[in-house]
């Protein structure tokens, strides 16, 4: 059985499910000059558009759209701190209300099914914005919430937000002791066993869990309980012999420990956690460049007595304001994160591969900005690699504690494509980036996103961790980008690169695809791995490459494009490579096919035709679908620049051939 767009089970969508299909004309025949001409025209329009959207400082940044929990939690934070104003509440209400589905629910991605915790948080936010529970759209939402089990069935993070106002009991939440900060690095469940995003969230939440604050609730939420008389029903324990049962019993023990914990030790632990938090505040006031840790850090420090006018608190709140995107209709959307480094390196690669001169002033300006964003001091990654010199790039404007292995690889690939007036400066930055990436290789030969060997299974088993990924194991897409970068740098035959290649070959799925951790999903993974393997020297005739090509041809939509729905993370067999055609996913498939030597194939011609014919007059593509991934299935992202940079890259490689490989890669 499979899930349909409304969350029910039933038949899969037809192959040609793209909304843009109605705008398409007769497909161009394979091998015709018309395909090349159409691609050239599309390249010119897309290049012109992308050049006009560059910031004067040299960077690009598209909106990073997620779901309304960001907006709801922003209002809840402001209510908790006593700073919620009518303008903010009204603007957030406009956005949240506009995202509600026909059945009264809210989804976590475009066209997705209603999601309970998201719907609860959106409902509460609209109550804060002044919506009456008797209004038709609110009554429909509350009825659906009760049908799904009410607040008691929501995830832990949602119930924490509700506990802040007495809408849920702290006793009925998993315990998270601040003494965790003292666990040594070799001990299971120490904070460095968690992925960096989880680590930054958990440390402040240990303070919140210890303090258990309750602010006066502005209204009751009885309508969200299936039984208002017993709003917090007890859940049965799993069998003691199961991991779930073990960790449930551990949580009960921690609740008991809370009653006998030394006050002096607990106070010291909270102060140590506060120091840890403050030491990791970025120059712009945020934490890790992402919204959730910033929100919880502000709450934690406020509970420890930090005044809202304290420099740390003031900078933190100002950073959260910068996550707001104000729309023309007055609505206010909150970004979970911002992606300027990622967007800039991808835009640079796209423009260079599309034929823009290597010394074009705007490409040089982009390189200048990227060079200024290099991270040259140690961060949390140095806990596992204390002797490794720094030299990477992060994803965001400011996130020096957590450079990103994926971004570093792509920045190096971008720098290699531009003729800069100070080549020595570029070479030094590239050298540091390559050295850092090589030093961040995990022991299995692959690469994660932020940390080395962040693979402990214990964090995922905690009752507290019921939402999203909390560890950062190596993934095929990140490993592929590093391997491609190393190949361009002439390191195809380096033993470390070969280990990465071997790992990628072993990770190929039986159908010929690769799993996509940070993009949706098997199309992204395959579109990342195939170009990397070819760049590293595998011929297009290699069995792994042929299996990947066969899979991509099998899942091509009838309209000529490719698409994959986020349900492939949950219903793998039914949804792998299936979904409405999108510009970014069509481009990923084309990048793999072109690297494999399939330029003259009918599949490539049809894909190029789809891109050319669905491009709008202003050089852009429309893409409401979410093709980026924060946490597979749980947290999805629509990167608004993906629909521009990846199609331009694919069109450029179709017209101009293989991408720039770098002078050192020749003969490697």
What CATH number has the domain bearing residue 428?
1.50.10.20
Question: Quick one: average pLDDT of 316-344?
Answer: 96
> Predicted confidence band at 231 (pLDDT cuts at 50, 70, 90)?
confident
Q: Tell me what pLDDT residue 460 has.
A: 84
Q: What percent of the chain has pLDDT over 90?
A: 85
Return all residues near 241 (Cβ < 8 A) that are at least 6 apart.
Answer: none
Return all residues near 482 (Cβ < 8 A) that are at least 6 apart.
Answer: 405, 406, 409, 437, 441, 447, 500
414 part of a folded domain: yes
**Residue where the block lists tokens 């292995």:** 405
Among 231-240, 513-522, 584-593, name the one with the lowest average pLDDT.
231-240
Q: Tell me what pLDDT residue 608 has.
A: 97
Number of Cβ within a 10 Å radius of residue 90: 14
Helix, strand, coil shares of the chain, percent, nearest 5, are 50, 5, 45
Read off the pLDDT of residues 464-514 as tens digits, 9 standing for 90 and up.
778 888 999 999 999 999 999 999 999 999 999 999 999 999 999 999 999
320 part of a folded domain: yes
What is d(CA 320, CA 233) in angstroms, rounded to the nearest whole number?
35
Read off the pLDDT of residues 250-264 as tens digits, 9 standing for 90 and up.
778 878 888 888 999
Q: Tell me what pLDDT residue 29 has.
A: 39
Question: Quick one: average pLDDT of 541-562?
Answer: 98
Read off the pLDDT of residues 164-201 as tens digits, 9 standing for 90 and up.
999 999 999 999 999 999 999 999 999 999 999 999 99
Question: Quick one: average pLDDT of 73-96?
Answer: 97
93 and 114 in a single domain? The answer is: yes
**Residue where the block lists tokens 């293989």:** 658
Return all residues near 605 (Cβ < 8 A) that are at least 6 apart.
Answer: 27, 28, 29, 30, 31, 32, 35
Q: Tell me what pLDDT residue 354 has.
A: 97
Q: Which of 334, 362, 384 is the last residue of a domain?
A: 334
Q: Tell me what pLDDT residue 336 has.
A: 95
Secondary structure of 104-137 in HEC code, one letter for each residue: CCCECCCCCCECHHHHHHHHHHHHHCCCCCCCHH
pLDDT at 9 > cutoff 80: no
Give which of 75, 76, 67, 218 is closest to 133, Cα–Cα.
218
* Residues catalogued as catalytic: 406
311 and 406 in a single domain? The answer is: no
DSSP codes joined into one string, 2-48: EE-TTS-EEPPPPTT--GGGGG--SPPPTT-HHHHHHHHHHHHHHHH
Structure tokens at 521: 């999903």
270 and 255 in a single domain? The answer is: yes
> Predicted confidence band at 14 (pLDDT cuts at 50, 70, 90)?
very low
pTM for the full predicted model: 0.92
Read off the pLDDT of residues 644-667 as tens digits, 9 standing for 90 and up.
999 999 999 999 987 755 544 333
Name the domain count of the chain.
2
Q: In the predicted model, what is the mean pLDDT of the chain?
A: 92
Q: Which of 334, 358, 373 is the last residue of a domain?
A: 334
Structure tokens at 552: 């991509």
623 part of a folded domain: yes
Read off the pLDDT of residues 31-77 as tens digits, 9 standing for 90 and up.
457 888 999 999 999 999 999 999 999 999 999 999 999 999 999 99
Q: Tell me what pLDDT residue 653 has.
A: 97
Count of H helices and E strands in the chain?
A: 23, 7
58 and 69 in a single domain? The answer is: no
pLDDT at 603 > cutoff 60: yes
363 and 479 in a single domain? The answer is: yes
List the domain range (segments joined by +) for residue 498: 35-62+339-440+475-665
* Cα separation values, 455 from 272, 380, 416, Å: 26, 16, 32
Q: Tell me what pLDDT residue 448 has.
A: 98
7 part of a folded domain: no
41 and 89 in a single domain? The answer is: no
Return all residues near 529 (Cβ < 8 A) that are at least 6 apart.
Answer: 476, 477, 480, 504, 508, 514, 548, 592
What is d(CA 155, CA 68) in angstroms, rounded to the nearest whole number?
15
**Residue where the block lists tokens 């540091």:** 432
Q: Are strands 628-631 and 332-334 parallel, antiparallel or unpaired?
A: unpaired
> Predicted confidence band at 248 (pLDDT cuts at 50, 70, 90)?
confident
Q: Tell me what pLDDT residue 20 has.
A: 35
Question: Quick one: average pLDDT of 203-226?
Answer: 96
Give which of 203, 664, 629 is closest to 406, Cα–Cα.
629
Give which of 475, 526, 521 is closest to 626, Cα–Cα.
521
> Predicted confidence band at 105 (pLDDT cuts at 50, 70, 90)?
very high
Q: Tell me what pLDDT residue 661 has.
A: 55
Question: Quick one: average pLDDT of 616-623?
Answer: 97
What is d(CA 274, CA 204) in angstroms, rounded to the nearest whole number?
7
């Amino acid at each position: 059985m499979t899930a349909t767009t409304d969350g029910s089970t039933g038949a899969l969508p037809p192959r040609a499910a793209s909304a843009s299909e109605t705008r398409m004309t007769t497909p161009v025949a394979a091998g015709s000059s018309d395909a090349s001409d159409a691609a050239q025209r599309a390249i010119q329009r897309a290049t012109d558009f992308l050049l006009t959207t560059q910031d004067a400082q040299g960077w690009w940044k598209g909106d990073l759209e997620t779901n309304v929990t960001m907006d709801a939690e922003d209002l809840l934070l402001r209510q908790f701190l006593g700073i919620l104003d009518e303008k903010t509440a009204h603007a957030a209400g406009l956005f949240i209300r506009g995202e509600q589905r026909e059945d009264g629910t809210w989804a976590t991605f475009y066209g997705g099914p209603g999601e309970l915790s998201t719907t609860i948080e959106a409902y509460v936010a609209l109550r804060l914005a002044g919506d009456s529970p008797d209004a038709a759209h609110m009554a429909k939402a509350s009825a659906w919430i009760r049908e799904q089990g009410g607040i008691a069935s929501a995830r832990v993070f949602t119930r924490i937000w509700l506990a802040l106002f007495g809408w849920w009991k702290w006793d009925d939440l998993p315990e998270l002791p601040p003494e965790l900060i003292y666990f040594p690095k070799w001990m299971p469940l120490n904070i460095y066993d968690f992925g960096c995003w989880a680590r930054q969230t958990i440390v402040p939440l240990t303070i919140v869990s210890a303090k258990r604050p309750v602010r006066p609730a502005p209204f009751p939420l009885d309508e969200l309980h299936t039984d208002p008389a017993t709003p917090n029903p007890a859940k049965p324990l799993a069998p003691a012999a199961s991991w779930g049962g073990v960790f449930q019993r551990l949580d009960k023990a921690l609740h008991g420990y809370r009653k006998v914990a030394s006050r002096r030790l607990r106070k010291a632990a909270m102060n140590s956690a506060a120091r840890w938090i403050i030491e990791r505040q970025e120059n712009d006031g945020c934490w890790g460049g992402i919204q959730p840790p910033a929100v919880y850090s502000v709450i934690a420090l406020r509970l420890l007595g930090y005044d809202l006018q304290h420099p740390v608190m003031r900078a933190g709140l100002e950073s959260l304001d910068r996550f707001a995107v104000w729309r023309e209709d007055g609505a206010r959307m909150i970004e979970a994160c911002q992606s300027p480094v990622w967007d800039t390196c991808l835009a640079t690669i796209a423009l260079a591969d599309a034929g823009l001169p290597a010394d074009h002033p705007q490409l040089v300006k982009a390189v200048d900005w990227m060079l200024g964003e290099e991270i040259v001091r140690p961060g949390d990654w140095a806990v596992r690699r204390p002797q490794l010199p720094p030299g990477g790039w992060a994803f965001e404007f400011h996130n020096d504690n957590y450079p990103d292995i994926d971004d570093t690889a792509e920045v190096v690939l971008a720098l290699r494509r531009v003729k800069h007036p100070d080549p020595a400066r570029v070479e030094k930055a590239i050298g540091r980036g390559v050295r850092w990436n090589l030093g961040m290789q995990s022991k299995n030969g692959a690469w994660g996103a932020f940390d080395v060997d962040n693979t402990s299974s214990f964090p995922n088993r905690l009752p507290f961790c019921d939402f999203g990924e909390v560890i950062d194991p190596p993934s095929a897409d990140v490993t592929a980008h590093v391997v491609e970068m190393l190949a361009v740098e002439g390191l195809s035959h380096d033993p470390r690169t070969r280990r990465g290649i071997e790992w990628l070959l072993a990770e190929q799925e039986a159908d010929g695809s690769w799993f996509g951790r940070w993009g949706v999903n098997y199309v992204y993974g395959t579109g990342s791995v195939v170009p990397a393997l070819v760049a590293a020297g595998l011929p297009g005739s290699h069995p792994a490459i042929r299996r990947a090509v066969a899979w991509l041809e099998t899942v091509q939509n009838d309209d000529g494009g490719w698409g994959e729905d986020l349900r492939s993370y949950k219903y793998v067999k039914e949804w792998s490579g299936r979904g409405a055609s999108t510009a970014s996913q069509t481009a990923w498939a084309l990048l793999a096919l072109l690297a494999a030597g399939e330029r003259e194939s009918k599949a490539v011609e049809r894909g190029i035709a789809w891109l050319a014919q669905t491009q709008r007059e202003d050089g852009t593509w429309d893409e409401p679908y979410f093709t980026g991934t924060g946490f597979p299935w749980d947290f999805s992202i629509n990167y608004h620049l993906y629909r521009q940079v990846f199609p331009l890259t694919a069109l450029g490689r179709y017209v101009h051939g293989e991408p720039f490989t770098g002078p050192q890669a020749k003969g490697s």
